[in-house]
Each structure stands twice: as structure tokens, then as C-alpha cells.
Amino acid sequence: MATSLKCLLRSGKEAAAAPAVGDANRDLAAIQVTVRDALNQALDEELERDERVFLLGEEVAQYDGAYKMGFTGIAVGAAMAGLRPICEFMTFNFSMQAIDQVINSAAKTYYMSAGQQPVPIVFRGPNGASAGVAAQHSQCFAAWYAHCPGLKVVSPWNAEDARGLLKTAIRDDNPVVFLENELMYGVPFEMSEESLSKDFTIPIGKAKIERQGAHITLVSHSRMVGHCLDAAAVLAKEGIDCEVINLRTIRPLDVECIEGSVMKTNHLVTVEGGWPQFGVGAEICARVMEGSAFNYLDAPVTRVTGVDIPMPYAKILEDNSVPQIKDIIFSVKKTLGV
Amino acid sequence: MLTNISTVLRACAQRNGAAAVVSARNYADFTSQATFEIKKSDVFKLDEAPATEVVMTRDEGLQYYRTMQTMRRMELKADQLYKQKIIRGFCHLYDGQEACAVGIEASIKPTDHLITAYRAHGYTLTRGGTVKEIMAELTGRRGGIAKGKGGSMHMYCKNFYGGNGIVGAQVPLGAGVALACKYKGSDELCVCLYGDGAANQGQIFETYNMAALWKLPVIFICENNRYGMGTSVERAAASTDYFKRGEFIPGLRVDGMDILCVREATRFAAEHCRSGKGPILMELQTYRYHGHSMSDPGVSYRTREEIQEVRSKSDPISLLKDRLLSNNMASVEELKEIDVDVRKEIEDAAQFATTDPEPPLEELCNHIFSNNPPVEVRGTNPWAKLKSKDYILD
């Protein structure tokens, strides 16, 4: 009976016929992989690699159900007893019900026990705005979780991020909040052979410069990274050269990367999907002010954020509730004074 | 040991010229074990019940007595230290409920697991903590079981997961521990405790559901001490039959003031779990002498007469003591000597707990992450850049 429980909890998602991954014909230097497939493959590989890893949640294998606080607590308890659970939320909005278990049972325990009780757990699920799911299902939780010591919070953008960060998160001995994005699941990205190898990991706490630039720094995470790159492409035609940083990790924030870039470009715009107040951009502003890059700024930092309202349903309203590419372009020009 | 007692007592008798002559007792004089008739537990969805005729050996009896007395004295000392403001913040005392912790431990193995809420000092002791490190944790010193970083509600040791401050949160955690036991294919189980106050919480019912569905080896135990903070069970619950609240989970209602009842019921429950039948629920009817915590005098919602009545008629230590004495399993002197021993242990522990230094400031930023390179931690101002120490595989 123990074996069947184990099987139940370790049946990874049916990885959709992943094109050519793991096959002999991996001659292609780059392969197109969707974020969803990248995640599933990473999950399957990590399940195979370590017996203690298992899945628990609302959308797992054959399991349907929404016993949020209960299963989150169960996952945390299992982690305390030596397993390595991956706790899935259908969306992070549901994690609000279970947030006590994430913060008080998972995040704080290693500290409260003075190092006796580690909690190696990953909490994953889609975060932030989706499409037409309205106010209760569209909140971004990056700021909420990143506020808390004892947690690591990551926010992948593309397939490579998803794969590498998920593997690192699963192998990390600490609670990791893994913020995915529903609208990104189906988006394909080129993945190098190196990034497809079984032990490909991306370190938590290190941002990536997706596009080098000289005039202004754009810092973003998750889906908005794509928007920043699109904006940068448009701005390039007007002679404005943007450096785009993909945070990859929200907590701990790679302040060094941001500062290094600002010291080069002298201008900073943060872009996020979440609400403005007390958010990721707000934190970046504070950190830049406190550090060495402040004196290099030629203008105050600009934050591009979601509109400070509960998410509306109607498409036109929803579209105007989150940053669009034109908002980023506008903000860049304002910051540069052009 | 008995020869010493007799020498001492003879000497006393001579000094006092006491009329009562205390004579030496030999080992052989004591009954090595006796059979006891205990109260039958109420059952729910069970065809059998825990045994009502049980055997206790002299050694067991003395050990239970010593542990319960240690627990009692430790809690009373904590009361004292709290009133002297040497212990701060939360302090939820367990005196009156000793039979629960000691009775449970008597029927589980050290390799089993246990988790409880915040009234946890007693369980920290039975699960392997020492009085010294428990008291030093209460006083927030470096010698504390959590190095002074946890406090009253956050004590941990092997196979003991605290000490949990959020009411009810420990219940899903306990089921998770049980899940890990089953997953690993061991015969270990998890004892998962909560109080009558927590018993109405939603997450507990979520947990019952999943534990039953997956047949997790968890013994849910409701320590019903009749009051959730200041609210009596009658005012709090639509149904006070806590042992039935698991609905599809079999239940037992047990006299939590009688250590033999608790022990026997736990034995029954453990067997149920280990035989793969899934979870079981035990309600222990018990009582706390103190208020909810040290901030609660405990007499605004119950009468002093009620407290006194429980003390005089149902005190778990007295019940055990009477059993030992009336069955010739121990002598008054022997038990008194244990009391003296215990008092000394508590005094020594209190001495340590009040003189051990507080944790060094360097500890402030340690233990944020496990197995992690040093982390930079922001201090109270931008120039206070603190750092955690490098911990390799702790």
C-alpha cells in the first residue's frame, strides 16, 4: 500500500510528446520547447533523480480537489519528515488560504528551530494576471512572498528559466516559491543543448541580462521580460538602446546586477505585472537608493506596474490593467527625457 | 538505594525520638507488578476497545511517577520564573495534563513521530529534551533547546516537530509526517495533537479527509481540557463529542487523567495505525490547572472550586501515587526521594536557565537557510549589512 501511495504521488504530469528531447536526434543545436513542456520535463527528471521528490496539489496526476490549507500543511509536514514535496497550487491566488502554512510552518521553521528542522519544499503554480479570470484569480504574489525571510522566491520567464530554476528549486533544501505564468505555458522558446541536459540548473539569486544596452536599464520578471524585449526592439529603431534584465529571482534580489547596469546606463525603469504599492519595483527603487548606483542615476527610477485596482473582467478593461508595450516605451522615453 | 533510605530514616527517627518508627523496606517487599481495572473508553466506529484490565510494573510506575513529577515541577518553576519576568512572551503551561504526554509516550517508540500545538513543554520532555534545555529555551539563553531562538512555542528535537504557534496548523503538518512514514514504507506513525479549541477548525477536517483517503498512519489526539482559552466547550462546539468529529475516522474517548487509560488507548491506536487501517482519533479528557497562558489567571471563566475539585479528585500524579502505594509497589519514602531528586533537577535547571548567557549577536542572522552559502541580511539601517555564517550540511 505504501508503494501505491508512492506511485500516486510520483506520477508526473503526462509530458506532452516532447519533440526530440532525450532522443537520439538531438543534433539540432537549438530546439523549440514550450514553458509547459520545460517544466514537465524538469519535473520528470527530478522525480527520477531523487526518490524523495513527489508531487502534491490541486491539479496533480489523477488528483482533483481543492483542500488547500490541508494539503499545503501536509506537504510541509512531509518535508519536515525528510521527503521533498512539490506542492502545486492551481493558481497562487489559492495559496492565500494556505499562506499560513507557507510562511509560519515552512519559511520560519529552520530559524525557530535554530537549524534543527529544514523544510525542503517547492510551492509552485501560476501567478499573476491570466486572461479573463477576473479579480480573485489574477493577483501577483511576488511582493507578498518576497517580503518574508526564510523563503526563496523565483519567477522564471522563458523555457530555459523554467527548467533550470525548477531543478534548482527542487534540489534546494529550503522552501522555494516558484511563480509561473499561465499565459507563458504555451509559449515556445529555443533551448540550447546545454540547457536540455539533466543537470542543467540556474542558480537562485542571479539575474540574467537578456539584452545588452547603453542608454537605459529595464528590469523585469516573468512575462513582462518579453514585453521589455519587444519594447526594446521598437526603441532600438529610434536609436534608444535598452539593457533588459530578467530578474529570474525575486528573493534574494540580484541587486549587484541591477547596480552594475545602472552604473553603465544611468537610467532605470522597473516593469512588473503586480500592483505598484509595496511591490517589486518599490523594493528595487529603495535598494538602488541605498547603494552605490544612486549617484549614477541621471533621473529618478521609474516603475511600470499593473494598475492599482482589482482586475476587471471585460477584455478592454483587463488589457488596460496591466503594462502594455506602449506603456514601457512611453516610460523609457519619459525617463530619458526624450 | 533502599539501604540508604533506611539509614537516613532511622537516623531521623532517633533524632526526633519520633513515635512513628520507620522501618527499612527491602526490594523483595514490593510487588513487582499489578493488574489494574481501568475505565472503559467510549468507542466510535470501532468493534473493539482498549483493554480495561492492564498490567503495570513497579519499574514502569516509578518511571511514570518520576516523569510526571518532573513535568509538574518544571511547569511550576516556569510559572515562578514568568512572574519574575525572567520568562517573557508566551507561556502555556501543562500542569494537570501530565498523564497525557507520559501515557502517550509509554505506548509509542522513539522512532515514531509527534507534533503538538503550543502547550508543548511536556512533550518536549517526553520526546527527549532535557529540563535544562527546555528551561533555558524559555529564558531565551544559548543553552536552550533551540538556542534561544524559538521560545516556549518552538521547541524541537528528533522526531518531535514542535511546538507550533498557529492554532490548528500542526494538524495537517502531522498528517504530512505520517505521509512521509507511509511513503518510506516504515511502520512508523505520527501522533498529532490539538486541543478542544482547535477542534472546530476547517483545516483539521481537510486533514481528516486526506488522512482517511490515503490511510495515513496518524493518531489524531484531541486534548480536551474543557476550555479553549476562556471559552468552555459547551459554548464553542455544536458537538462536544470530539472523538466522533472525524466522522469516517474511528474514535476513542479516554480518561486523560489516568495514565494507564492513556497508555492503553495509545497502544490500541498505535496497533490500529501500524496494521494499515489508517488514521484513528483519540479524545483525551483532561484538565489544566493554569489558565490558557500566563496572561490568563484562569478563574474568570471557571470557578476555583472546579479547579480544586479536579486537583483533589483527579490529579494524575496523585492517582498514580495512590495506585503505587495501595498496591505495595512503592513506599512513601521512595516516592519522596524521587520528589527530592526532581526538585533538585529543576533547581539546577532553573539555575542554568537564569545564568546561561543569552545567544551572541552573531546568531541573529544564522539559520535562515539550510545548507546554503552565507546570506547577506539587511540590518535596521542601510549601513548595517549583516551576514549569516557559512553552514555546510547541518
For position A265, which CATH number holds? Answer: 3.40.50.920
Same domain, B333 and B373: no
Question: Is residue A47 in some structural domain?
Answer: yes
* Contact across the interface for A113 and B162, Cβ inside 8 Å: yes
Task: Specify the pLDDT at position A302.
Answer: 98
Summarize the confidence of residues B35-59 as an average pLDDT: 98
Map grid coordinates 511536556 to a residue.
B122
Same domain, A214 and A110: no
Q: What is the pLDDT of residues B274-293, one digit of tens each?
A: 999 999 999 999 999 999 99
Q: Is A249 on the interface with B (CB under 8 A)?
A: no
Which band of pLDDT confidence, cut at 50, 70 and 90, is reported for residue B391?
Answer: low
Closest CA to B100 of B210, B216, B196, B207: B196
Our CA-based measurement puts residue A20 at a distance from the nearest CA of chain B, in whole angstroms, of 33
* Contact across the interface for A76 and B171, Cβ inside 8 Å: no
From CA A133, how far away is CA A139, in angstroms rounded? 10
Same domain, B220 and B369: no
Same domain, B323 and B370: no
Q: Answer with the one of A196, A222, A251 that is the final residue of a domain.
A: A196
Answer yes or no: are the C-beta atoms of A301 and A271 closer than 8 Å: no
Q: What is the pLDDT of residues A149-176, one digit of tens each?
A: 999 999 999 999 999 999 999 999 999 9
Question: Is residue B124 in some structural domain?
Answer: yes
Full residue range of the structural domain in which residue A119 is found? 32-196
* Contact across the interface for A112 and B149, Cβ inside 8 Å: yes
Question: Is residue B21 in some structural domain?
Answer: no
Same domain, B289 and B149: yes
More confident residue, A176 or A14: A176
State chain A's mean pLDDT as an integer.
92
Q: Give the phi and the psi of residue A176 in degrees, each rounded to 5.
A: -120, 130
Model ipTM? 0.90
Task: Specify the pLDDT at position B390.
Answer: 58
From CA A197, how far away is CA A191, in angstroms rounded? 10
pTM of this structure: 0.91
- Helices in chain B by DSSP H: which ranges? 2-16, 58-83, 98-106, 121-126, 131-138, 170-183, 202-213, 233-236, 259-274, 304-314, 316-326, 332-355
Which band of pLDDT confidence, cut at 50, 70 and 90, is reported for residue B8?
Answer: very low
Q: Is B189 on the interface with A (CB under 8 A)?
A: no
SS3 for B282?
strand
For residues B225-263, b (16+ Cβ closer than 10 Å) or e, as one string?
Answer: bbbbeeeebeeebeebebbbbbeebbbbbbbbbbbbbbb
CA B147 remoteness from chain centre = 21
Nine cell digits for residue B353: 536557565
Strands A242-246 and A216-220: parallel
Residues of A in contact with B202 (CB under 8 A): 69
Answer yes or no: are the C-beta atoms of A328 and A269 closer than 8 Å: yes
Same domain, B279 and B163: yes
**HSE-up of B375 (CA within 13 Å, CB side)?**
24
Closest CA to B51 of B320, B265, B243: B265
* Contact across the interface for A71 and B206, Cβ inside 8 Å: yes
Which band of pLDDT confidence, cut at 50, 70 and 90, is reported for residue B2?
Answer: very low
Same domain, A132 and A83: yes
From CA B327, how far away is CA B317, in angstroms rounded? 15
Q: Is B381 on the interface with A (CB under 8 A)?
A: no
Q: Is A175 on the interface with B (CB under 8 A)?
A: no
Same domain, A188 and A241: no
Question: Is residue B10 in some structural domain?
Answer: no
Question: Is residue B292 in some structural domain?
Answer: yes
Closest CA to B193 of B271, B315, B94: B94
Same domain, A58 and A123: yes
Same domain, A147 and A60: yes
Which band of pLDDT confidence, cut at 50, 70 and 90, is reported for residue A110?
Answer: very high
Same domain, A217 and A102: no
pLDDT at B17 over 50: no
Same domain, B108 and B204: yes
Same domain, A89 and A137: yes
Answer yes or no: are the C-beta atoms of B83 and B70 closer than 8 Å: no
Nine cell digits for residue A316: 478592454
Q: What is the pLDDT of residues A186-201, one digit of tens each?
A: 999 999 999 999 999 9
Question: Is residue A261 in some structural domain?
Answer: yes
Summarize the confidence of residues A83-89 as an average pLDDT: 96
Same domain, B366 and B354: no
Question: Is residue A26 in some structural domain?
Answer: no
Same domain, A186 and A228: no
* Contact across the interface for B175 and A77, Cβ inside 8 Å: yes
Question: Is residue A151 in some structural domain?
Answer: yes
Residues with Cβ within 8 Å of residue B51, at least 6 apart in sequence: B264, B268
pLDDT at B27 over 70: no
Distances (CA, A) of B394 to A96, A105, A107, B138, B303: 31, 20, 17, 24, 50
Question: Is residue B222 in some structural domain?
Answer: yes
From CA A93, how far away is CA A271, in angstroms rounded? 21
Same domain, A220 and A321: yes
* Contact across the interface for B169 and A104, Cβ inside 8 Å: yes
Task: DSSP for A13-29, please give it.
Answer: ------TTTTSS---SS
Instruction: Tally C-beta pairs within 8 A across A and B.
Output: 162
Map grid coordinates 520535463 to a residue.
A41
More confident residue, A20 or B331: B331
Summarize the confidence of residues B235-247 as an average pLDDT: 97
Nine cell digits for residue A164: 533550470
Task: DSSP for A103-122, please give it.
Answer: IIIIITHHHHTTTS-----E
CATH assignment at residue B211: 3.40.50.970
Summarize the confidence of residues A314-324 as an average pLDDT: 96
Question: Is residue B17 in some structural domain?
Answer: no
Q: Is B46 on the interface with A (CB under 8 A)?
A: no
Q: What is the pLDDT of residues A204-233, one digit of tens each?
A: 999 999 999 999 999 999 999 999 999 999
Question: How buried is residue B312: exposed, middle or buried, by Cβ count under 10 Å (0-12/13-18/19+)?
Answer: exposed
pLDDT at A66 over 60: no
Residues of B in contact with A69 (CB under 8 A): 172, 202-203, 206
Of B176, B363, B372, the CB nearest to A81: B176
Which band of pLDDT confidence, cut at 50, 70 and 90, is reported for residue B101?
Answer: very high
pLDDT at B1 over 70: no
CATH assignment at residue A120: 3.40.50.970
Same domain, A224 and A261: yes
Question: Is residue A295 in some structural domain?
Answer: yes
Percent of chain B predicted with pLDDT > 90: 90
Same domain, A213 and A176: no
Considering its fold, how many domains does chain A have in total?
A: 2
Same domain, A189 and A249: no
**Upstream peptide bond of A252 is cis (omega within 30 degrees of 0):** yes
Question: Is residue B25 in some structural domain?
Answer: no
Question: Is residue A275 in some structural domain?
Answer: yes
Q: Answer with the one of A143, A172, A196 that is the final residue of a domain.
A: A196
Distances (CA, A) of B282 to A82, B2, B52, B252: 26, 40, 16, 5
Question: Is residue A139 in some structural domain?
Answer: yes
Same domain, B307 and B378: no
Q: Answer with the one of A152, A169, A196 that is the final residue of a domain.
A: A196
DSSP letter assigned to residue B160: B
Of A72, A74, A114, the CB nearest to B179: A74
Q: Is A123 on the interface with B (CB under 8 A)?
A: no
Question: Is residue B355 in some structural domain?
Answer: yes
From CA B337, how far away is CA B331, in angstroms rounded? 10
Q: Give the phi and the psi of residue A189 in degrees, each rounded to 5.
A: -135, 155
Full residue range of the structural domain in which residue B381 is found? 362-393
From CA B313, how far away is CA B288, in angstroms rounded? 14
User: How many beta carbons lie within 10 A of that of residue A74, not counting itself?
Assistant: 32
